[in-house]
Amino acid sequence: MERRSFIKSIGLAGATVAGAALAAPAIAQDVRHWRLLHAYPKGYPVYGTAPNVFAEFVGKASGGRLKVQVYGAGEVVPAFETMDAVSSGAAQVGFGTSYFWKGKEPAMQFITGLPFGMTVQEQNAWFTAGGLELSQKVYERLGCKFFVAGNSGTQMGGWFNREIESTASFSGLKMRMPGMGGEVLSALGATIVNLPGGELLPSMQSGAIDACEWIGPYLDQAFGFHKVAKYYYYPGWQEPSGINDLFVNMDEWNKLPEDLQAIVAAGAELANAHVINELTARNPVAQKQLMDEKVEFRPFSNETLIDLANKSGEVINDLASKDPLSREVVDHILNFRAAVMGATALSEQAVLMARSLDYKYANLNGG
């Protein structure tokens, strides 16, 4: 999908903000220069381009008053030091995934998403229903302003060279799986090795790790995991959805006039739409290509999923109880999840079940 179409898709609200900014006499305004550091390889599809979508929109909508230069992982700092750079003021804005920063603030890992948690639509709604303000409370501890700037949608369960017959199959496995999913597998006896995306393929090739989980067909294919692993398991129980975060140094945020703050917020919304729309459009194509290359797509058994869900509940409760802010975030998510699941069961879930029934549907070209 072309970037221009996303810029056009920001809608009336974004257009209004942009129009107001462009109407201002930019020549008389101070020009601000920001550095955006992100935690993904430069030029990597979707996650590596979403920061560019944000930067391009902000530059155009501000009439050149706010210029954002984008740097990929390793160009200025390593991927997992992005938050440090923004929090300290060495850079103005960062882009990554909330659970990358859980070592600095434990509640971060819950914001990304919970195992067996919410769909992308439900999670976006959670932010509307108070989750955004609660997430900001977490990010303020690191001196940052928080925005949602992407969502993976439902991921895949990972790449393996052994069959996963039950949760016992995870015992002794060296696997890359970040976030809460990694905590669950660690509790089941796996050794979790958290690595940035660019290091995963060589680690699989060398045997430094036995298995890995990344995102889904399109981005996994781009890294070439199908060349080093035999089995591709689903569903992605560990991340039914997973957000990308865009975070601005709070001192820099407070320096912005209100119109530029509105433009930054609109740019984050555009990046959010870019990520999920790109992945939704491209995953089916990549999935078919992987199937044509004889990748073995394997479902986790229901028994395995039930055991994973039970262990997930134990791990979530244990981690959430270690500090009051984590408990506050988790309780808020669980309350919303319980409420929205009932509505989803009668709407999207029911339609998906109906759509999978055996019937004759419309044919291409009326054939």
> Could you tell me which residues are annotated as the binding site for substrate?
155, 176, 213, 239
User: What residue numbers does the annotated binding site for Na(+) cover?
Assistant: 214
Q: How many residues does the chain have?
A: 367
- Give, rounded to a whole angstrom, the gap between the first and last alpha carbons of the chain: 28
Is the CB of residue 141 less than 8 Å from the CB of residue 108? no
Phi, psi (rounded to 5 degrees) for 304: -65, -45
| Region of residue 148 (phi > 0: left; psi between -120 and 50: alpha; otherwise: beta) | beta
The binding site consists of 155, 176, 213-214, 239
The closest of 144, 173, 164, 171 to 237, measured between CA atoms, is 164
DSSP label at 129? I
Which amino acid would we find at residue 347? S
Distance of CA 148 to the CA centre of its chain: 9
Q: Are 37 and 304 in contact (CB under 8 A)?
A: no
Return the H-helix or E-strand segment holding 258: helix 258-292
Give me the residue label for tokens 């101070």: 30
DSSP string, 241-252: S-EEEEEEEHHH
The residues with which 159 forms a beta bridge, in sequence order, are 212, 232
Q: What is the pairing mode between strands 144-151 and 158-160?
A: unpaired
Residue 20 token pair: 């107001």
Give the Å distances, CA to CA, from 271 to 54, 57, 113, 293: 6, 9, 18, 32
